Amino acid sequence: MDASGGEPALKVAVDGALEALSPEQESLLLERAPARARELEKRVREIVESVREEGDAALLRMARELDDVALPSLEVPQDRWKEALQELDPLLRKALERAARNLEGFHRAQIPPPVDFTSEPGVRMGRRTVPLDGVGVYAPGGLASYPSSVLMGVVPARTAGVKEIAVCSPPGPDGEPPAEVLAACAVAGATRLFAVGGAGAVAALAYGTETIPQVQAVVGPGNRWVTEGKRQVAGTVRVDAPAGPSEVLVVAGTGADPRRVAAELVAQAEHDPEAAVAAVAWDRELLDRIRAVLAEEVESTPRRETVEEAIGSRGALLLARDREEALDFARRYAPEHLALYTSAPRADLEAVPTAGTAFLGEASSVAYGDYLTGANHVLPTAGAGRAFSGLSVLDFLRFYTWQELDEDGAAAMTDDVVRLAEAEGLPAHGRAARLRAPGEPTEVEPGGEERPPSGGSQNTGPAKETS
């Protein structure tokens, strides 16, 4: 029975008031991470180990066994990308190029400037930013072609200054990823493309094979095999946030358009039967209208079977007592995509710092961010936004710090450094600091006596600054 007391026209996994949720319903909504499947973990470990030991031979064998294709080569040459780009629908090409420009602009704006900081007189330090040498970008295949995922991984890496950007994507029946993926590699600026999918691709990028280069980071969305593969190679290479089935939570304020709310739920549900889609409102009449319109939208969508399965297993229509309860639920839910269709979305955003990305106002459909705005659509799911961030240019950069003390700055710190070193039982640390103290002997005479350095014990003054 739905919140209005009538029979629902569409099966929704959880439909009712937030305050009346059972522990099982709350767990279904808030604990969305899949349970560790021991058989999957074991199988992926076997794949990873076989790729480490056998290299290309293991990948070619898995292509025959898992993808039912005999690959003439793992690598797709750049000439094929260029052909695919030339043959692409001109309007689609224009859209891809527009998306790439927006991605580059927004991600370039996120590169942090160098830091140069003086903590005390004579004590300078800073932080420098450098790109990784090589990264791997996974572009999923299977149910559909995802050229947008190529852009989301490759463009930020190129913007960061990464020299080697290798893309892996599953082969189709002809032994290559879809033409749209090839074209996207050309638009985005990838350096190499391999027709390899699943956990084998992750392992190949992490450890290298005869053909596929070893990289320092592996990013991009994928199925549970890819996600488990990334988990197992984390530490060998950097990996991005866990990214599972798509999610959206719409917070619908009084006056929100129920058709737009319903359309957002259907749009994310069509990705995957395991997608999680939810709407929360504090206006009972609005929620009833959303429910009715959602049934209409589901009935007319071309991917109806997938959408119905997602809504029936992970969908939710929730009634809050007020705005505060709705926003508190959104914070705890920590969705991949948060849509704030309220009267004050910018203010409401402050209450939900756990979202992967937020869309403010009814004009801001998630679809725009999925493809064209310039923000990244590779985002944490299953509540991982409580701790992880979405993919960004920062995933392709590393930072190191530098420190420079002049003689006066060193002398001023010596006594406290010695005290701290003695407290930790590290006398050599104290000795190293004492040698910078004014008048402290630093050179040893042939007879074993220490003497001041040539030029006396006076400080030499501030060190000359270097660029």
Spot the catalytic one: 270, 337, 362, 377.
337
DSSP string covering 33-71, please?
Answer: SPPP-HHHHHHHHHHHHHHHHHTHHHHHHHHHHHS----
Distances in Å between the Cα of 314 and the Cα atoms of 11, 90, 337, 377 are: 10, 38, 15, 21
Spot the catalytic one: 104, 264, 336, 362.
336
Q: What are the tokens at 357?
A: 């990305």
- Tell me how far apart the alpha carbons of residues 453 and 467 are, in angstroms, rounded to a whole number: 28
Phi then psi dihedrals of residue 450, to 5 deg: -85, 145
- Tell me how far apart the alpha carbons of residues 51 and 351 are, in angstroms, rounded to a whole number: 45
Q: Which residue has the tokens 């074209």?
A: 183
The answer to whether the beta carbons of residues 18 and 279 sit under 8 Å apart is no
**3-class SS letters over 178-192:** CHHHHHHHHHHCCCE
Please indicate whether residue 337 is annotated as part of the active site.
yes
Please indicate whether residue 305 is annotated as part of the active site.
no
Q: How would you label 187-223 residue by residue, b for 16+ Cβ within 10 Å and e otherwise?
A: bbbbbbbbbbbbbbbbbbbbbbbebbbbbbbbbbbbb
- Tell me how far apart the alpha carbons of residues 189 and 184 are, in angstroms, rounded to a whole number: 8
Helix (H) or strand (E) holding 28, with range, is helix 23-30
**Of 254, 253, 249, the residue nearest 268 (C-alpha):** 249
Query: Residue 403 pairs with which residues in a beta bridge?
Result: 125
Active site residues: 336-337
